[in-house]
Structure 1
Amino acid sequence: MVKVRTKDIIEKFKLELISGEEGIDRPISTSDISRPGIEMAGYFTYYPAERIQLLGKTELSFFKQLDDEQKKVRMEKMCTDITPAIIVSREMDVPKELIEASERESVPVLRSSFKTTRLSSHLTNFLESRLAPTTALHGVLVDIYGIGVLIMGKSGVGKSETALELVKRGHRLVADDCVEIRQEDQDTLVGNAPGLIEHLLEIRGLGIINVMTLFGAGAVRSYKRISLVIQLETWDQQKHYDRLGLEEDKMKIIDTDVTKITLPVRPGRNLAVIIEVAAMNFRLKRMGINAAEQFSARLTDVIEEGDREDL
């Protein structure tokens, strides 16, 4: 499914359409932006035609030095049937050779008032966000002390009830039931709620509640980077659970490994408080303070000291 078309960037950045209007529905498949300086010099062997082409002051000042035939040939080669758009920055004049070639091949030629470097940066950020790999997971995403915690588990285990208690304790709900996740960078996962259920929380026996209406705008947020996964599961007497915290499990979401903690659920355990502490402890570990490792080191010292006394 096409995620971004040329008309989307026209609307987003208020670009002026100069020519090639028939091509505004062309798909944009990559976030890479090309500044075709070497192509202006006549070298098209590795021309990335599938990218948005951005013409700045440098490219157009060189173009003006070419003779009429060279200008015509260069612009004809730049306008291909897969080029999503050619953008002229700084509101500079668009060469008539570019307009003629774009009309023949239906390549949208656009103009912006932004400086070239700034426009390139804004375009790249927008396209990386829209073209990022995405997935959807069943769970609840909560912002706890600045840590995006994805709470997962089977239906009925208490995810939404725990999220409600966390909201009452001052934390912020991002998404309940379905979390849409996109990978914006090599190791950055950002989660948000589908528009249909944004700010809503389902509590069995109570129904659907609007968290923002009940607790205020400070109790919700639109999106959050996912840093920690909490897996809730029914307590299994036969299973070994980590009691020291030295073991660190990982869960792969798209192409990113995220720290995962498994919490057994049984009557009497305050899950909201435990998850809150897990988020704080995760922050401490990122700051270089690991209580489990410190305890293990002290325990090793005591054992070694006892062995020396025995000798």
Structure 2
Amino acid sequence: MSTVRTQDLLENFNLTLVAGKDGIHREIFSSDLSRPGMELTGYFKYYPKERLQLIGQTEMNFFLDLTEEEQRDRVRRLCTDVTPGIVISRGMEIPEVIIEAANESGVPILHSPRKTTRVISRLTNYLEAKFAPTTAIHGVLVDINGVGVLITGQSGVGKSETALELVKRGHRLVADDNVEIRQEDYDTLIGSAPPLIEHLLEIRGVGIINIMTLFGAGAVRSQKKISYIVNLEIWDEKKQYDRLGLDEERLKIMDVELPKITIPVRPGRNLAVIIEVAAMNFRLKKMGFNAAEEFSDRLTTMIEQEREV
């Protein structure tokens, strides 16, 4: 999990530091934002002081209706020693009492010209991405016609060579050898490459090649949502492989279960074409077209007709 500080918000968003510059290195521990409406009325029993606070037009208008003494009391209690910052949206004018309290307590006041809902949405998405749980998997991630396909298998089975062929066929490489995965929300996995090996592909006998240099910027992606897993394994004559596609295997990565297929590898099989077709077939299934179920229905109908005759 990344460490996020108030300074990072200033560097990544259209925010202006108005006061409390001594606290810009305070750490943010939660992706949740707080709009201190109840607190401005004087009720601080459940005040989430460790969260980033956001004051919109409603909160500001209420604050301005308070007496001068109440304003000083509320802002003093809002600015604690652990509060990472207070964001004021809509480009509203900031009262001097807030600036004075922020400078005394070292709580950064960040000014945004954007609407409150837009500020909440962008800050929440940024913080959730930073705080998302992460893991790493040995494999190759490729974007095939919009489907993020994670290719796994034992070392030397041909994952990188298959990825190279897929890139030549117009698809895009995300990561080779080591795929860093973060879980965003409860059902979304985003894969990317470690900075050290980004855009690089290792081919045994050739060495390290730079996909972006060889094939152009359109052949790579920095990250991609993982939707499908293809596991490559050496063909085992004793093992029964799925020939119809009715059996749905799933693999759990962190808290997310993803559909998975196993493709046996032996000389003569064009793995790139097989994986490309598998990805397109996966898209068709998501759209409601399942060739395996259609074939099964046809077969059942034919058997019933034969019985009637």
What TM-score, normalized by structure 2, do the two folds share? 0.96
Pairs aligned (count): 309
CA drift of 1:2 comes to 4.5
Aligned to 1:220: 220
- 2:84–2:108 Cα contact (<8 Å) kept: yes
Aligned to 2:24: 24
Q: Which consecutive residues of structure 2, in runs of 5 or more, have no partner in the other structure?
A: none
Matched, 1:289 2:289: yes
Aligned residue runs from structure 1 range 113-124, under 5 A: 113-124=113-124
Aligned residue runs from structure 1 range 74-153, under 5 A: 74-153=74-153
Aligned residue runs from structure 1 range 139-288, under 5 A: 139-288=139-288
Matched, 1:12 2:6: no
- Quick one: distance in 2 between partners of 1:223 and 1:2? 17
Give secondary structure in 2 for the equivalent of 1:236. coil
Instruction: Provide, for residues 54-91 of structure 1, a one-character-per-residue CA deviation record: whole Å limited to 9, x for no partner.
Output: 11222111111111221111112111222111011233
Write the letter of the residue equivalent to 1:76.
Answer: R
Write the letter of the residue equivalent to 1:110.
Answer: L
Greater CA drift, 277-286 or 90-99: 90-99
Greater CA drift, 257-266 or 24-33: 24-33
Write the letter of the residue equivalent to 1:160.
Answer: S
- Quick one: distance in 2 between partners of 1:19 and 1:144? 48
Give secondary structure in 2 for the equivalent of 1:283. helix
Instruction: Provide, for residues 261-287 of structure 1, a one-character-per-residue CA deviation record: whole Å limited to 9, x for no partner.
Output: 111111111111110110011011111
- Quick one: distance in 1 between partners of 2:212 and 2:13? 31
Identity value in percent: 65
CA drift of 1:47 comes to 1.5
- 2:75–2:101 Cα contact (<8 Å) kept: yes
- Quick one: distance in 2 between partners of 1:149 and 1:99? 51
- Quick one: distance in 2 between partners of 1:204 and 1:105? 59
- 2:49–2:80 Cα contact (<8 Å) kept: yes
- 2:2–2:130 Cα contact (<8 Å) kept: no
- 1:135–1:181 Cα contact (<8 Å) kept: yes
Give secondary structure in 1 for the equivalent of 2:243. coil
- 1:143–1:172 Cα contact (<8 Å) kept: yes
- Quick one: distance in 2 between partners of 1:91 and 1:281? 50
- Quick one: distance in 1 between partners of 2:48 and 2:97? 20
Write the letter of the residue equivalent to 2:208.
Answer: I
The Cα RMSD (Å) is: 1.4
What TM-score, normalized by structure 1, do the two folds share? 0.95
- 1:2–1:27 Cα contact (<8 Å) kept: no
Instruction: Give the ranges of 4+ consecutive aligned residues of structure 1 lying more than 4 Å apart after TM superposition.
Output: none
- Quick one: distance in 1 between partners of 2:76 and 2:282? 56
